[in-house]
Amino acid sequence: MQLNLNWKKTMLLAVALVAMGAGVATAANKYGKPQSIIHVVTLYYKDGTTAEQKKAVLDGVEKMAAEIPGVKNVWLRSFKVQGAFYEKQEDGSLKARPYTDAFVMEFENEAAFKAYDDHPAHRAWEKVYVPVRGRSATSDITN
């Protein structure tokens, strides 16, 4: 009887472990492929740009998101930015200017993304952004 009881406990434990493992494996592979458009901007600011000016740029992104129809989400805090622009110097050498900041805007669809470009809120924000932008690179991504 003792052997039969240990065998049952072992089988129950094995079944429980398999079930838990299957649940973890299934959960780890779930992801979505949304049809929205992600607008990713990486940049470095001109030398001498103040913290207040940088804040005004990001505050402006958030203000645009509130005013432009079809903006779903924004990401404003950079914690890792890769890449650089290489500026040609007067002596012909190249100077690396690493990108230091980034922000992202998510648009519901292509129509919302296209409308953003000429929207008055975008044009107003550019008056704050362009004077302090050293260089930027943009990637627009969808599924």
Q: Indicate the burial class of 138 (C-beta count within 10 angstroms; 0-12, 13-18, 19 or more).
A: exposed
3-class SS at 55? Answer: helix
Say how many C-beta atoms besides its own lie within 10 A of residue 102's C-beta.
Answer: 20
CB 70 within 8 A of CB 115: yes
pLDDT band (50, 70, 90) for residue 29: confident
Distance separating alpha carbons of residues 57 and 105, to the nearest angstrom: 13
pLDDT tens digits along 62-104: 999 999 999 999 999 999 999 999 989 999 999 999 999 999 9
pLDDT band (50, 70, 90) for residue 9: low
pLDDT confidence of residue 52 = 98
What letter does residue 70 receive in the DSSP assignment? T
pLDDT band (50, 70, 90) for residue 10: low
Mean pLDDT lowest among 1-15, 46-60, 82-96: 1-15
The type of residue at 6 is N
50 against 6, higher pLDDT: 50
CA proximity to 129, closest of 39, 55, 72 = 55
- The dotted CATH code for 37-141 is 3.30.70.100
Distance separating alpha carbons of residues 121 and 111, to the nearest angstrom: 16
Distance separating alpha carbons of residues 108 and 115, to the nearest angstrom: 11
Could you tell me the residue ranges of all domains in the chain?
1-31, 37-141
pLDDT tens digits along 125-136: 999 999 999 999
pLDDT tens digits along 96-132: 999 999 999 999 999 999 999 999 999 999 999 999 9
Is the pLDDT assigned to residue 27 strictly greater than 90? no
